[in-house]
Structure 1
């Protein structure tokens, strides 16, 4: 056999061995990590969650992440819970990250928003337990009275479906506009029967506090108001009523993970007297405890 042929056979043998080894390694990785169809992908062989791993929760910075940080620093260790908090500043990524498994749970939204999101995005996120309510408020830097919002004035509202409908309801309840009969939480600008001369600007919810200098008033979600140092209880021209309010914010997970023992522990802690006191003391009415099951 020539040296050239011997070298060619050696190279082919080496390449074949490398390919077999790579395939074996890939199979080992898939076995260890699991696939999306493997019930034990992120847990033990029986499909139950590994309680020794940290529970990773996606949350809006204020007040959600602050409340979770209070739990992490003061209550979680004693309860045997390892908790990690990932902050998100929009209303989309927390749900998509929960759906994909990038995070284990999220805490940032209310039921009307989640129902709309699941329907539009095909996701399977479900609520676990209510935690708090952030009263929606109407704010202005150009008038300190609702009477100042006269014909020709511009009011900014959130541009996502459920929060826009909620904002329009607040304006209607305070006599600034009239809505068509039967309009619910999914109302939009086409459902305004009489704008009474007001003009509207639809903006992403997170940008509304910054828009106050450019419009005559803005309807702002409670968490973004608090983050912007606005207090619904004292700074708003009008505030949403807390009674029978369907907009409580809750802990949520992907369907099938509701009984994860780590999730159940966190749910219990979020409804604890310690957390209720923290919310009351920290936010002074700008955020209101709203514990219990999600209706």
Structure 2
């Protein structure tokens, strides 16, 4: 059931993206994205698919303030699910995406047979536990229901957040692939609902708490630093969000320009000023 829902969402969103690209006259699905590596035409628009917050915001800042001076024609396409950005890059309807961390990309490539690679790590969005019903994790009642992301790596990441804060214990060595079946000690008898990551903020009125990805928390006007009951630590965190392309396109001169801009002092200052610690530069 989980897989079918994700594929349906991806199919609808991919169709919408394709129509958008056609409507704006982009050639990214033809010659623009077909060229690989250094053979790509540096004058063509660079189409990047991104989640709304903070990814698209950061890219739109670059588009408005930095891209022209760098000789980059940047086009940002906003998508809200976690499948379409990779399928669009794989099929050539987009040149790059910016929405995911490396563990998610590794799992996606393995599961879907894609060959997408990271170019640069850009920022970290700390994952947090949120609630409309309690003011602290300790106040969760026996048998409380926790909503968690239903994609493989983020579900494991969510359970690790709970384990790191003493709410449960996981099997040794299970890592980012953990599921509720890997919980070995559950003193509060917590129950788990596996929900599409984008829908998690909407569950807060129906569950006792939810573990929400940073970008979706920001979309829902939640402030991770102020509103989260529990929040991931940034130090030594493997979940930095990355700029990613189809393998072989890393040397596209447009990609190199964007990567340099994403690591620029201007972008670092923009992230620090705009998100006040809710999004942390990873460079």
Q: Pick the TM interval, shorter chain.
A: 0.7 to 0.9
| 1:17-67 C-alpha deviation (Å, 9 max, x unpaired) | xxxxxxxxxxxxxxxx9x99xx998349x9700001010000001100000
Task: Kindly state the Cα deviation for residue 150 of structure 1 after the two structures are TM-superposed.
Answer: 2.6
* Contact 1:59-1:87 within 8 A present in 2 as well: yes
Paired residue for 1:42? 34
CA distance in 2, matches of 1:122, 1:280: 36
* Contact 1:138-1:238 within 8 A present in 2 as well: yes
> What secondary structure is seen at the aligned counterpart in 2 of 1:77?
helix
> What secondary structure is seen at the aligned counterpart in 2 of 1:165?
helix
Superposition pairs of residues 91-130 of structure 1, within 5 angstroms: 91-130=82-121
> Which residue of 220, 224, 241 maps to 1:228?
220
Task: Kindly state the Cα deviation for residue 195 of structure 1 after the two structures are TM-superposed.
Answer: 2.1
CA distance in 1, matches of 2:251, 2:60: 22
* Contact 2:33-2:95 within 8 A present in 1 as well: no
CA distance in 2, matches of 1:121, 1:145: 38
> Which residue of 270, 274, 278 maps to 2:262?
270
Superposition pairs of residues 129-208 of structure 1, within 5 angstroms: 129-196=120-187, 197-208=189-200
* Contact 1:138-1:217 within 8 A present in 2 as well: yes
TM-score in terms of structure 2 length: 0.87
Which structure: greater helix fraction?
2
Paired residue for 1:213? 205
| 1:217-251 C-alpha deviation (Å, 9 max, x unpaired) | 00000000001011111110010010110000010
CA distance in 1, matches of 2:194, 2:35: 43
Q: Quick one: structure 1 residues 198 and 53, their matched pair in 2 at CA, closer, same or farther if it must change by over 3 Å?
A: same
CA distance in 1, matches of 2:184, 2:96: 40
Q: Quick one: structure 1 residues 47 and 62, their matched pair in 2 at CA, closer, same or farther if it must change by over 3 Å?
A: closer
> What secondary structure is seen at the aligned counterpart in 2 of 1:78?
helix
CA distance in 2, matches of 1:181, 1:123: 30
Provide the alpha-carbon RMSD of the alignment.
1.9
Aligned length: 255
CA distance in 2, matches of 1:225, 1:51: 36
User: Which 4+ stretches in 1 moved above 6 angstroms?
Assistant: none
Task: Kindly state the Cα deviation for residue 183 of structure 1 after the two structures are TM-superposed.
Answer: 1.6
TM-score in terms of structure 1 length: 0.83
Paired residue for 1:81? 72
| 1:262-288 C-alpha deviation (Å, 9 max, x unpaired) | 000000000001000100111111100
* Contact 1:41-1:47 within 8 A present in 2 as well: no
> What secondary structure is seen at the aligned counterpart in 2 of 1:129?
strand
> Which of the two has higher C-alpha Rg?
1
CA distance in 1, matches of 2:253, 2:135: 49
> What secondary structure is seen at the aligned counterpart in 2 of 1:250?
strand
Unaligned 5+ segments in structure 2 are 1-26
Q: Quick one: structure 1 residues 153 and 72, their matched pair in 2 at CA, closer, same or farther if it must change by over 3 Å?
A: same
Paired residue for 2:54? 63
Paired residue for 1:11? none
Task: Kindly state the Cα deviation for residue 147 of structure 1 after the two structures are TM-superposed.
Answer: 1.4
Unaligned 5+ segments in structure 1 are 1-32
> What secondary structure is seen at the aligned counterpart in 1 of 2:70?
coil
> What secondary structure is seen at the aligned counterpart in 1 of 2:75?
strand
